[in-house]
Structure 1
């Protein structure tokens, strides 16, 4: 059925234009959860969530799944049912089809999945792709992340300057969970007025923000002591290895594209560095190396690359 996009779906939910069934697919799990939360807020009363909302995992469905997800709402607009990981479903396919086909105005069913390739999927997944509203969540681009920051802050009744948005992007990138956490912190300590760069430096921590730039500078200058100190500070602040690798990738990519960032490496130097970074990223994702050790080794190699 119709493929919608994130921004359109958010507006539809806010306006109460909510469909009977959705498939939320792709790799951006945080945004999937955000959409589920929006549906939950719109459809289900807090006091009756124990009765009017059900959540299951595809590989743990009960034999009578139809009865669970077709229960009429007790005190809410609709009964909301969420099934995570339909690509792992082993039973209950026909019962789920019956729910989707019922088009009941009292039900809303949300299915989630990872990356979808229609040519390689089984019959049930192909049927779902043809019969529900689909939204595929991939990683947000820089512009999408900045738009998300602005709209998230405004949805809380606050405001944020463009410079502050750019600083959050420079600092965190597209780690949506970390962004959400920092925005919640900012709104707690800055309940009035627009959030400015000085607020981010004061609340998020200027030393933490500067550490990533110090790390870039250390790699550029081949200064091992400065680089390891900056890395130690980032870990002390609780920065995830994957986020550090991501921030380095942005910096190295800018060097490769000739955008002229401060401390940019030459083209050949940046190409070699990106190759090292990609190997590290892959080893972390595969679980071949501890994340912290892998990043420490990467920084050591980058600083001693010449």
Structure 2
């Protein structure tokens, strides 16, 4: 089910008895829950009639009992269940037994005054289970996985337009880049830009660069570009700047290892004609990270990526065992590549 279509239905008061939010995009989950609260509750009712359970430390029987009880000082109740691992093939040891017979009975005949929401942040269901088949039959399933690049761009552009703002094309691209196409980050940063540009209603590239901070990962991505293109002085200067900001060499090296591992994987998949969409399926990484890596390694020999990765692994060992000075090792790595 499309999230926008379902949000429109909720705003009209067309609310299902049972929802399954499948995915882990926190912003979308919060948006749906907020829409349900707004539609179901008067302000004073919410505190008593919004209840959330985590199946890692609570039994489903407790949650079902709450769902079946009468709302307190209100007409409706919203019960949210996190980590319903019993819909997957996962085996989990707990101090209590998950009585799925009670859940089966509830899904067959839900309580009219309660809306039950499962936050299913797992990759997939165990389709062999009877409870999963019943759940799919008797619930509204909404995809809250991370949005695609295009969907994220469209969502952000529509939001900016709806708020009465304009944004330069270069500023729009930079904002998406700095936030890694993460809708939660984008929503936080765009609010700052709205406040800063309240008088002009126009967001510029300079404002994005000034107000949206670069993450450590982005700084290290810049560092890798400097290293791989022979701009060693810029790479070392950026390294020193990061140290002044309180970052640690071990942490910087660890992120470099992670990034070069991704480069290595993408380069190897490129060599056997894998497309970016296939790489996402194989590596289980956000499409935007795959896109950046794909573009970055296109003109870098596999041997150079592999040698750099091996050196970083060795440096990690030498630093952690105290065999060499960490700053000297890092500088030697930059100069050697």
**Fold match, TM over 0.5?**
yes
Give 1:116-195 correspondences, 5 Å limit: 116-119=123-126, 122-153=129-160, 157-161=163-167, 163=169, 164-192=171-199, 193-195=201-203
1:270 and 1:28 map into 2 onto residues whose CA distance is 37
Instruction: Name whichever of 60-69 and 245-254 sits farther off.
Output: 245-254
1:266 is the counterpart of 2:274: no
Shift of 1:126: 3.5
2:191 and 2:20 map into 1 onto residues whose CA distance is 28
2:56 counterpart residue number: 59
2:68 counterpart residue number: 70
1:219 to 227, 230, 233: 227
1:196 is the counterpart of 2:198: no
Q: What is the RMSD computed on CA atoms of the aligned residues? A: 4.5
What are the superposed Cα offsets for residues 81-137 of structure 1, whole Å, 9 maximum, x if unpaired? 100011158424333344433354432111012334345664323432232111233
Shift of 1:142: 1.2
Q: Which protein shows a greater Rg?
A: 2
Q: Could you say if the C-alpha distance between residues 26 and 255 of structure 1 is closer, same or farther in structure 2, counting changes exceeding 3 Å?
A: same
Residue 81 of structure 1 contacts residue 108 of structure 1 at CA under 8 Å; is this kept in 2? yes
1:87 counterpart residue number: 85
Number of aligned residue pairs: give it: 278
2:294 counterpart residue number: 253
What are the superposed Cα offsets for residues 232-286 of structure 1, whole Å, 9 maximum, x if unpaired? 6579499x988x9577754331245xxxxxxxx516459947x959x99xxxxxx
Q: What's the secondary structure of 2:53's corresponding residue? A: strand
1:44 counterpart residue number: 41
What are the superposed Cα offsets for residues 6-42 of structure 1, whole Å, 9 maximum, x if unpaired? 2322333333332221111234344223322232233
1:18 is the counterpart of 2:32: no
User: Could you tell me the TM-score, scaled by structure 2's length?
Assistant: 0.64
Q: Could you say if the C-alpha distance between residues 190 and 137 of structure 1 is closer, same or farther in structure 2, counting changes exceeding 3 Å?
A: same
1:300 and 1:70 map into 2 onto residues whose CA distance is 64
2:119 counterpart residue number: 112
User: Could you tell me the TM-score, scaled by structure 1's length?
Assistant: 0.69
Q: Could you say if the C-alpha distance between residues 305 and 5 of structure 1 is closer, same or farther in structure 2, counting changes exceeding 3 Å?
A: farther
What are the superposed Cα offsets for residues 189-248 of structure 1, whole Å, 9 maximum, x if unpaired? 33452433333223225899995774354033233442254366579499x988x95777
Residue 12 of structure 1 contacts residue 18 of structure 1 at CA under 8 Å; is this kept in 2? yes
Q: Could you say if the C-alpha distance between residues 166 and 122 of structure 1 is closer, same or farther in structure 2, counting changes exceeding 3 Å?
A: same
Residue 23 of structure 2 contacts residue 120 of structure 2 at CA under 8 Å; is this kept in 1? yes
Q: Could you say if the C-alpha distance between residues 207 and 37 of structure 1 is closer, same or farther in structure 2, counting changes exceeding 3 Å?
A: closer
Instruction: Name whichever of 90-99 and 177-186 sits farther off.
Output: 90-99
Q: Which runs of 5+ in 1 are unaligned?
A: 257-264, 281-288, 290-295
Q: Could you say if the C-alpha distance between residues 160 and 211 of structure 1 is closer, same or farther in structure 2, counting changes exceeding 3 Å?
A: farther
Q: Could you say if the C-alpha distance between residues 27 and 214 of structure 1 is closer, same or farther in structure 2, counting changes exceeding 3 Å?
A: same
Shift of 1:69: 1.6
2:130 and 2:144 map into 1 onto residues whose CA distance is 22
1:20 and 1:301 map into 2 onto residues whose CA distance is 62
2:303 and 2:11 map into 1 onto residues whose CA distance is 45
1:182 and 1:137 map into 2 onto residues whose CA distance is 21
